[in-house]
Chains A and B, each alone.
Chain A
Amino acid sequence: MIRRAGEAIAVIGLALLLAAPAAGAAEPQTSLSEISAEVMCPVCGTLLELAESPQAQREKAFVQRLVDEGKSKGEIKDALVAEYGDEVLALPQDSGFSLSAYVVPIVAFVVAAGALAFGILRWRRASGPGPGEAAAASAGPSREDNERLDEDLGRYDL
C-alpha cells in the first residue's frame, strides 16, 4: 500500500516536472501571419504580409518577438502604433475620430438614398397628370371649343 502510494507520488512529481517548462513558456495568442495581414509596412506603403524590404523584415521580427512573448493581437498593434503611429494600421481603429471612417460612408449612403427617393417622388408628381387633369382630358372638347371649331370649318367651303 505504501509502495503504491510512493509510486503514485513519483508519477505525479514527474508529470509536474515535465509540465513546468510548458507552463513557464508564454502561450502565443496570435501569429505573425495574422498580424501581418492587418498592419502596414509604413515605409513600403503596402500590407506587411506583402512587403519584403529590409524595413519590413525588421517590422516582422519585431512582431514575431512580441508574438513569442505571448502578447495579444491588440497589444502588438498598440506597440506598432507606439513605434510608427496610426498609419501602421491597415484598417482605421473603431474608436475616437477614426470611427468616422466607418460611420461617414453609412450616413452618406442613407442621405443619398433618401435624396434619391425624394427626388423620384417629386419627379413623378411633376410629370404625371393629376386626377382632375386626367378627367378633363377624357371628357373631350368643351362646348365653346366645338362652336369655335364649327365657325372655323364654316369659313371653308368644303
Chain B
Amino acid sequence: MRTRSLIAVLAVLAVVALLVYGLASKGSSRIAVGEAAPDGPLPRLEAAGRESLADHRGQWVLVNFWASWCDPCKEEAPELEEFQQRHGGAGFTVLGIDTEDLSDDGRSFARKYELSYPQLHDGDGRYGDEYGTTGVPENFLVGPEGRVRWLTAGPISERSLGEVEALIKGRS
C-alpha cells in the first residue's frame, strides 16, 4: 500500500515538474547587463561560412537584431551605419543579426542601406531567444570581455547611441 502511494505521489510530482519545465522553457527572459553574451556561431549573411561573437573578443560589439520586414529597423539602419563609419575599427564594430528572415531579403536589405558591418543570419530566431529578445530591433552592447554592458529594446536613438559612444570611449 505504501509503495503504491509512493508511486502515485512520484507520478503526480513528475507531471507537475513537466508542466513547470514547459512553462519555464517557454518564457525566455531578457539577458541582463553583466551577464555573458551568447556567442553563436551563426552563418554569415553575405558570405560563406560561420562567424561567432567570440571572434570579436577584445572588441566592443553592438549586437543589432533586425529583420528586413521590420519598419523601425529601416529607420535605424542608416544611423547604425553612420555610427560604424565613425567608430568602427579594431576596438569596435556593429554586428548585425538578421533574425527570422529570409536570407535573400536580408541581403537585399543590407545592400539597400549599404551596411558595411558584418551580418549574420539567425533564420530560426534561436540566437535571439538566447538574448531573450521579444522583437526587432533590439540592441546589446557587449564589452571586450564578452559581457553585456548595455541594452535597449526598440529602435536605437541618437541619445542611446550617445550612451554607447560614452561606454566604448570609457567615459562612463
Contacts and interface: CB of A to CB of B under 8 A. Distances in A.
B61 to A, nearest CB: 24
A83 B103 contact: yes
Contact of A84 (B68, B100, B104): B100
Contacts of B79: none
Given A42-B124, A55-B67, 15 more contacts: A43-B67, A43-B69, A43-B100, A43-B125, A55-B100, A58-B69, A58-B105, A62-B102, A62-B104, A83-B102, A84-B100, A84-B123, A85-B123, A85-B126, A86-B124
Nearest to A59: B102
B51 interface: no
Contact of B69 (A55, A82, A86, A87): A55
Contacts of A74: none
Interface of A: 42-43, 53-55, 58-59, 62, 82-88
Contacts of A88: 124
B110 to A, nearest CB: 15
Interface of B: 67-69, 100-105, 123-126
A59 B104 CA distance: 11
A74 to B, nearest CB: 19
A117 to B, nearest CB: 17
Nearest to B103: A83
Q: Provide the main secondary structure of the chain A interface.
A: helix
A83 B123 contact: yes
Which one of B100, B101, B104, B125 has the greatest number of beta carbons of chain A within 10 Å? Answer: B100
A57 to B, nearest CB: 8
Contacts of A62: 102, 104
A61 to B, nearest CB: 9
What 8 A-B pairs have minimum CB-CB distances, sorted nearest first? Answer: A85-B124, A55-B69, A54-B69, A43-B100, A83-B123, A84-B123, A84-B124, A83-B102
A42 B101 CA distance: 9
A42 B125 contact: yes
14 contacts: A42-B100, A42-B124, A42-B125, A43-B67, A43-B100, A43-B125, A58-B105, A59-B102, A62-B104, A83-B123, A84-B100, A85-B124, A85-B125, A85-B126
Contacts of A85: 123-126
A113 B146 CA distance: 53
A117 B67 CA distance: 55
A62 B105 CA distance: 10
Contact of A55 (B101, B124, B126): B101
Nearest to A53: B69
Nearest to B100: A43
Contacts of B126: 85
A59 B101 CA distance: 9
Contacts of B124: 42, 84-88
